[in-house]
Amino acid sequence: MSSGNVHGKEPFLRMVQRDSISQKKAWAVRALAFVLSLVTGGIIILLLGHNPFSVYASMVTGAWGSRTVAYETVKIAVPLLITAIGISFAFKMKFWNIGGEGQILVGAVAAGAFGLFTAHIFPKLPLVLLMMLAAVVAGGLYGLLPAVCKAKWGTNETLFTLMLNYIALAFVKYLMNGPWKAPGSSYPKISMLVPGARLTKVLGVHWGWILALVLVVAAYIYFNKTKQGYEIAVVGESNNTARYAGINVGKVFRRTMFLSGALCGLVGMLQFAGADYTITEGTAGGVGFTAITVAWLAKMNPYGMLIVSVFIAMLERGANAIQTQFKIPASASDLLIGIILFFMLGCEFFITYKLIGRGREDHHA
């Protein structure tokens, strides 16, 4: 066969996985992607008739410019961080838990069952502990359900967990319109949590931020220093290899998804008792989906998730600030966030893979 025919069948570009890439080069790619995202966003800002430097500066000051806005940024970061850690438990074993939203809502409802109806019975500390326990158990059981079905019948966990989000949302709507509807309210809403049952603030933000930092360290130790963390890693590599090594794959699925759902349920309690003080359709607020981006960008590393969640919280707060200050539409500010995250996620492709042109030899990275 002639070389011309070979090249005729060869694609113009081939995608090849890199053998390795130095940390220095990987971070250089990420830095370049971040700069390109700012440039691309800057072009959009120019088209809207604003100075990109002023808008970007306003985003930073809108997130950190005063103590009050900094508190708000941290309040956004806390649920993102804990949910991302929860989701990473499942993702590390390649069990695609897309149900964070539903698990957060179920946790909030379980916490609400105690917070809204037993605040007059229990003192604050036992009440808060009961709300936490209820949220963790409810979220865990909601996460356990798809794990049981996958272990027993091989169901698709992506669709299963996604559909459970809508069931939880529908249940919250039912409560708002029915049994938990605030007395005397003309429109569907659940009563507010009494002030005495709300989470205490530490340095201006509810103490959930301390819990989040503790969970970062605990998750890192769990993933890297325990037998259960090792089992998660082996199951993530290959179910068959795990079975050959004597690991009960179904048991690992169930245990890990309970923990994953439990952490998301905990977020529901923190949002209910520490931030919103009621339960609505927006209690989860897209956190369950945004946390997937946090987990992926951080490569499932809890310390990385801390940095990424704070960064995304800064972008969200900053986007709110530029809407007010520059009258930039919400859709345009969301587009700016999307562009930055797109570039940051996209650059990971070029860290893992390289493109080789037709007729070029594949040399090691």
- pLDDT tens-digit profile of 173-225? 999 998 999 988 888 999 999 999 999 999 999 999 999 999 999 999 999 99
Nearest in space to 87 (alpha carbons), one of 246, 254, 282, 292: 292
Strand, helix or coil for residue 286: coil
Residue 206 in any domain: the answer is no
Q: For residue 1, what pLDDT band results from cuts at 50, 70 and 90?
A: very low
Query: 188 CB contacts (<8 Å, ≥6 apart)?
Result: 173, 176, 177, 181
Q: For residue 318, what pLDDT band results from cuts at 50, 70 and 90?
A: very high
Residue 241 in any domain: the answer is yes
Q: For residue 22, what pLDDT band results from cuts at 50, 70 and 90?
A: confident
Tokens 């009621």, residue? 278
- pLDDT at 80 > cutoff 50: yes
Tokens of 9: 């069948």
- The total of structural domains in the chain comes to 1
Tokens 């069948």, residue? 9
Mean pLDDT across the chain: 91
Cβ atoms within 10 Å, residue 92? 18
Question: Which pairs from 28-37 meet CB under 8 Å and 24+ separation?
Answer: 29/347, 29/350, 29/351, 30/344, 30/347, 30/351, 32/347, 33/343, 33/344, 33/346, 33/347, 34/340, 34/343, 34/344, 36/343, 37/339, 37/340, 37/342, 37/343, 37/344
Query: 208 CB contacts (<8 Å, ≥6 apart)?
Result: 78, 79, 82, 199, 270, 274
Residue 47 in any domain: the answer is no
How many CA within 13 A on the CB side of residue 8? 5
How many CA within 13 A on the CB side of residue 262? 15
Residue 93 in any domain: the answer is yes
Residue 119 in any domain: the answer is yes
User: Which residue type occupies 280?
Assistant: T
- pLDDT at 142 > cutoff 50: yes
Q: For residue 143, what pLDDT band results from cuts at 50, 70 and 90?
A: very high
Nearest in space to 292 (alpha carbons), one of 252, 247, 330, 345: 345
Quick check: 219 and 302 in contact, CB under 8 A?
yes
Query: 273 CB contacts (<8 Å, ≥6 apart)?
Result: 111, 115, 128, 131, 193, 197, 198, 199, 206
Strand, helix or coil for residue 201: strand
**The model's pTM:** 0.91
Q: What would the mean pLDDT of 86-110 be, rounded to a whole number?
A: 97
Tokens of 177: 């319109």
pLDDT of amino acid 365: 44
pLDDT of amino acid 354: 77
pLDDT of amino acid 353: 80
Q: For residue 360, what pLDDT band results from cuts at 50, 70 and 90?
A: low
Residue 149 in any domain: the answer is yes
Dihedral of CA atoms 106, 112, 114, 120 in degrees, nearest 10, equals: 180
The kind and range of the H/E element at 102 are: helix 100-115
Nearest in space to 292 (alpha carbons), one of 166, 171, 109, 158: 158
Nearest in space to 98 (alpha carbons), one of 257, 211, 242: 257
**pLDDT one-digit tens code per residue, 47-65:** 999 999 999 999 999 999 9
Strand, helix or coil for residue 10: coil
pLDDT of amino acid 359: 62
Tokens of 179: 């049994």
Residue 290 in any domain: the answer is yes
- Between CA 310 and CA 318, with CA 312 as vertex, the angle to 5 degrees is 100
Question: What's the domain range around 276?
Answer: 75-199+220-296
Q: For residue 9, what pLDDT band results from cuts at 50, 70 and 90?
A: low
Residue 51 in any domain: the answer is no
- Between CA 277 and CA 293, with CA 132 as vertex, the angle to 5 degrees is 80
Largest Cα–Cα distance in the chain? Answer: 86
Q: For residue 234, what pLDDT band results from cuts at 50, 70 and 90?
A: very high
**pLDDT one-digit tens code per residue, 241-299:** 999 999 999 999 999 999 999 999 999 999 999 999 999 999 999 999 999 999 999 99
